[in-house]
């Protein structure tokens, strides 16, 4: 047990959105880590009551329904917009008397006994529509459109009436009438997105949650109670008791994203029920919950919680009031492989049975899950189950029903089939020219072949030309795939020229295509620099050998690893782009502040002074040094003399003009 915990810690220390993948045979051990978790967070739900079916919607958008009794694929449905409008949530409808195709008339003794079975399945999509699928008919029942403007996060059935409730990112709840296929009522639930819904067993109350939890009266569509909720978005809501709310005996539980506590809330008659009364301690956020409700105070609630890290926790508690300390699980179940260094096998879902020691488990991966009924000793606190997933998957694949029928042929007859004999043939390194029948040409020895090859540039060779041509790359690639020699594969994969890559892939034999895709997938999980080179090879393979890949019967399982890896890489690209832009703005501001802006020199480069008046000049002269005062006085004297001379000359000119040039100034004054 300690070794398994140490192994789990090492597995969780890898960066986010990385994949644990061995080779293609280990497809049953697909485990994606997101904050130390294995599960992909995809919808996975058992059918009610009988638990006969398991509905899973993988990332490829396909709905797969597995039969838990015979452990085979029962039905598969591909929505028309499965790539653009992926499935976000799944909910089984209540068991009902399904109407099948017209059959023979039953007797009166048989007509009275009609067994109810799980039929309808609601799928919420990211495009805002809700798809209703019928398992009895094996076809689409109806599509509910026009109710939401955002992606659907949760769907919940009414236990009695033909009603369905859906919550979306547009903060609204829609009540659908399945008889008409239209929205019956729509109201705003909260300011944030509606992430979870749950209808009470009596069908009178509805729980809705984003970050806060509200209880609605379905008759009036008004809020009955409010609860504080969680700090993050609530992902799970389940009623734990079936007692009426006016008896202080109605309890429900809630789980949130990135929250390792499962909270239990009590609906009290006095309204003092804003905080949780009981908490269940988990190892990671809850992914799948199954419980047996309590009908009285003397009956305990049985709870099975599958966490995001792939572990199962079992609880059993009497809900009769508040409890201060978080409750630890009575039993924890883990699964691992049987290898020398075992890897933990993630649990996808778990279902309780009437027997307290029996459980129905689904583990492995979403493309090919393994269903098993196990006996667990709940007296032990920790239980570790070891399973050989590879053997179980091979047996399950042999038991699956195939539509391809093999004809019965006599042993003496000989069948001629065009092309290669089977897709699963091993890689044969027969790329050279085969010896034709009826020719007596001798096969050349290795020495003669080497003599024919001219690797020197003396005989008209161009210097700098590559010695290896594209056919040599194809031979080396096939040899490297056969021997799994890393040195040979590294030399081939280091080629960057697109024309070489295209010609090399085009000359590969068909049996070597699938091993090449597996090798490319394995290398793309490493360093991003290597992934850039591998993308070119993958593009060439998909362009050259698309028809061959489409002809493979098990293409989904062959390329499932590659598809999930690409989805995990692209999933965070948009968020990383936003983060890159914000960090770029912050770094530019930091660089600008650290560059050190020098103080501005406030001295003027050019000073222009206007001409001042005599008084300003006189006032300015008073401040000059004494040694220059003499010069200033001389200049002033000369200026006065020049002014007097100019005045006399002006008087003379005026007198000449008036004819008084002979009259002296003195006589002129006397005459006056």
* pLDDT, tens digit, 9 for 90 and up, residues 344-374: 888 989 999 888 888 999 998 888 888 899 9
Residues 483/489, Cβ–Cβ less than 8 Å: no
Q: Which residue has the tokens 């992934």?
A: 531
Intra-chain end-to-end CA distance of the chain, in Å:
142
Here the tokens at position 205 are: 């109350």
d(CA 468, CA 466): 6
> What is d(CA 561, CA 567) in angstroms, rounded to the nearest whole number?
10
Q: Which residues pair with 432 in a beta bridge?
A: none
Per-state percent for the chain, helix, strand, coil, to nearest 5: 30, 25, 45
What is the per-residue pLDDT for 95? 77
Query: Can you give the pLDDT at residue 246?
Result: 66
CA distances from 448 to 288, 435, 444, 467, 475 (A): 69, 17, 6, 18, 19
Instruction: Let me know: does 260 contact 283? Beta carbons within 8 Å.
Output: yes
DSSP class of residue 320? S
What are the backbone angles phi and psi of residue 642, rounded to the nearest 5°?
A: -65, -35
CA–CA gap between residue 197 and residue 284 (Å, rounded): 21
Q: Rounded to an integer, what is the distance from CA 622 to the centroid of its chain?
A: 86
Q: What is the pLDDT of residue 275?
A: 80
pLDDT tens digit sequence for 420-442: 444 444 444 444 444 444 444 56
Tens of pLDDT, residues 129-166: 999 999 888 888 889 998 899 999 999 999 888 899 99
Ranges of residues in the chain whose predicted pLDDT is under 50 = 1-40, 100-103, 109-113, 394-404, 417, 419-440, 455-470, 627, 657, 661-672
pLDDT at 286: 92
Place of tokens 């080179």: 533
Q: In whole angstroms, give the CA distance from residue 464 to residue 453.
A: 17
Please report the pLDDT score of residue 400 as a whole number. 47
The DSSP symbol for 24 reads G
Give the global pTM: 0.55
Dihedral of alpha carbons 264, 92, 39, 389, sign? positive
User: CA-CA distance, 419 to 413, in Å (whole number)?
Assistant: 19
Q: Which of 206, 186, 205, 188 shows the shortest CA–CA distance to 196? A: 206
pLDDT at 154: 93
Query: What confidence score (pLDDT) does residue 329 get?
Result: 93
Is 63 in contact with 77 (CB distance < 8 Å)? Answer: yes
* Distance separating alpha carbons of residues 308 and 230, to the nearest angstrom: 18
């Amino acid at each position: 047990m300690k070794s398994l915990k140490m192994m789990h810690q090492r597995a969780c220390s890898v960066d986010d959105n990385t994949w644990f993948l061995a080779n293609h045979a280990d497809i049953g051990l697909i485990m994606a880590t997101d904050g130390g978790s294995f599960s992909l967070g995809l919808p996975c739900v058992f059918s009610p009551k009988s638990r006969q079916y398991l509905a899973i919607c993988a990332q490829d958008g396909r709905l797969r329904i597995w039969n838990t009794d015979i452990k085979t694929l029962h039905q598969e449905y591909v929505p028309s917009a499965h790539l653009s409008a992926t499935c976000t949530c799944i909910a089984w409808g209540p068991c009902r008397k399904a109407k099948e195709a017209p059959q023979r008339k039953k007797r009166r003794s048989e007509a009275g006994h009609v067994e109810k079975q799980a039929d309808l399945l609601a799928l919420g999509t990211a495009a805002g529509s809700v798809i209703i699928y019928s398992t009895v008919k094996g076809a689409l029942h109806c599509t509910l459109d026009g109710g939401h403007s955002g992606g659907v996060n949760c769907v919940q059935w009414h236990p009695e009436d033909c009603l369905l409730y859906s919550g979306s990112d547009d903060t609204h709840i829609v009540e659908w009438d399945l008889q008409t296929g239209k929205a019956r009522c729509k109201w705003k639930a909260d300011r944030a997105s509606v992430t979870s819904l749950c209808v009470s067993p009596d069908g009178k109350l509805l729980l809705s949650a984003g970050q806060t939890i509200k209880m609605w009266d379905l008759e009036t569509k008004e809020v009955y109670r409010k609860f504080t909720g969680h700090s993050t978005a609530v992902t799970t809501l389940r009623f734990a008791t079936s007692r009426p709310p006016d008896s202080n005996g109605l309890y429900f539980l809630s789980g949130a994203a990135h929250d390792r506590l499962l909270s239990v809330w009590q609906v009290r008659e006095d309204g003092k029920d804003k905080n949780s009364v009981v908490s269940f301690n988990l190892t990671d956020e809850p992914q799948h919950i199954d419980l047996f409700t309590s009908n009285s105070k003397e009956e305990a609630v049985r709870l099975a919680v599958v966490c995001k890290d792939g572990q199962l926790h079992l609880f059993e508690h009497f809900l009769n009031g508040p409890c201060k300390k978080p409750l630890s699980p009575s039993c924890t179940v883990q699964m691992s492989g049987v290898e020398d260094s075992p890897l933990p096998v993630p649990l996808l879902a778990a279902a309780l049975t009437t027997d307290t020691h029996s459980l129905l488990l689904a583990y492995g991966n979403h493309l090919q899950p393994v269903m098993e009924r196990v006996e667990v000793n709940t007296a032990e606190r920790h239980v570790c189950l070891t399973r050989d997933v590879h053997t179980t998957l091979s047996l399950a694949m042999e038991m699956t029903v195939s539509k391809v029928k093999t004809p019965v042929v006599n042993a003496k007859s000989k069948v001629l089939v065009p092309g290669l004999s089977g897709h699963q043939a091993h890689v044969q390194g027969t790329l050279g020219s085969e010896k034709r029948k009826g020719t007596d040409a001798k096969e050349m020895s290795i020495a003669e072949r080497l003599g024919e090859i001219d690797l020197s540039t003396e005989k008209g060779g161009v210097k700098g030309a590559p010695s290896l041509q594209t056919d040599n790359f194809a031979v080396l690639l096939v040899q490297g795939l056969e021997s799994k020699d890393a040195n040979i594969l590294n030399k081939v994969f280091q080629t960057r020229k697109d024309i070489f890559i295209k010609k090399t892939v085009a000359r590969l034999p068909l049996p070597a295509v699938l091993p090449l895709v597996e090798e490319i997938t394995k290398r793309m999980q490493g360093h991003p620099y290597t992934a850039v080179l591998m993308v070119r090879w993958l593009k060439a393979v998909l362009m050259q050998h698309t028809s061959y890949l489409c002809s493979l019967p098990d293409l989904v399982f062959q390329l499932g690893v590659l598809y999930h890896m690409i989805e995990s890489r692209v999933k965070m690209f948009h968020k990383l782009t936003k983060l890159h832009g914000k960090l770029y703005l912050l770094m530019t501001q930091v660089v600008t502040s650290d560059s050190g802006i020098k103080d501005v020199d406030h001295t003027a480069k050019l000073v222009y002074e206007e001409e001042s008046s005599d008084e300003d000049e006189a006032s300015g002269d008073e401040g000059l040094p004494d040694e220059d005062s003499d010069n200033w006085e001389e200049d002033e004297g000369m200026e006065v003399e020049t002014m007097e001379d100019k005045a006399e000359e002006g008087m003379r000119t005026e007198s000449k003009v008036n004819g008084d040039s002979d009259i002296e100034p003195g006589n002129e004054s006397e005459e006056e």
